[in-house]
Amino acid sequence: MMLYIVRHGETDWNRERRVQGHTDIPLNDYGRLLAGQTAEGMKDIRIDMAYTSPLSRAKETAQIILRGREVPLISEERIKELSFGNYEGLCCSGEHREPGSDEFNRFFTDTKNYVPPKDGETIQALYERTGDFLREMREREEEFKDKNVLVSTHGAAMNALLNRIKGNLSVEEFWRDEVPPNCAVTMVEIKDGEMKIIREGVIFHKEKVRKWKAV
């Protein structure tokens, strides 16, 4: 089994450096362009089935990549983005950063000491639910043998998935490999009960996507 794990395309809140979390912000036109070019780059890769976060930015990214293919699209809560509670909507990077953003920016700059708001979610909780999704994939290896599975998700959720595969469950080193760019694709092979990253952060589109910097 091969998983093709992709981060969604750009949204207006991505462009404005606003925290999204569970807030359901759709793709913008540029995000749709990124997804469309990713679809073109992946056109020769057979996709047998797809899981997507229920948030529209991830769902539409999967729909664009799969356009013209008859592939089942399964909504999966466990690969939804981390909830940032009342931090969501906060502009926390660049010249327009808002009061209170320093507390949130620990999520990127000092993850060990990041404290989510009462209505937010911990990194450990994210590890647990994304890890449960991966365990199910591994347990269904025989059922999905020789299948290619698209997994459309989000920056922090994707990072949690990849960290687990790499054997890194340290909260302190959560961002050791930085935020995956919009529409970056990582290919993960599941074979004989083991998960192995074959290629990481593949960019199929031709556009330059800015990396997140909490400054």
3 state SS of 37: helix
Instruction: Categorise residue 76: left if φ over 0, alpha if ψ from -120 to 50, beta otherwise.
Output: beta
Instruction: Categorise residue 19: left if φ over 0, alpha if ψ from -120 to 50, beta otherwise.
Output: beta
CA dihedral 176, 26, 65, 191 (to 10 degrees): 40
Is residue 22 annotated as a catalytic residue, yes or no? Answer: no
- For residues 173 and 110, is the Cβ–Cβ distance under 8 A? no
Instruction: Give the amino acid at 147.
Output: K
Is residue 200 annotated as a catalytic residue, yes or no? Answer: no
Q: Which of 60, 76, 81, 88 is catalytic?
A: 81
- The token pair at 187 is 């290919």
- Closest by alpha carbon to 70, among 46, 40, 41, 52? 46
What's phi and psi for 209, nearest 5 deg? -110, 125
Active-site residue set: 8, 81
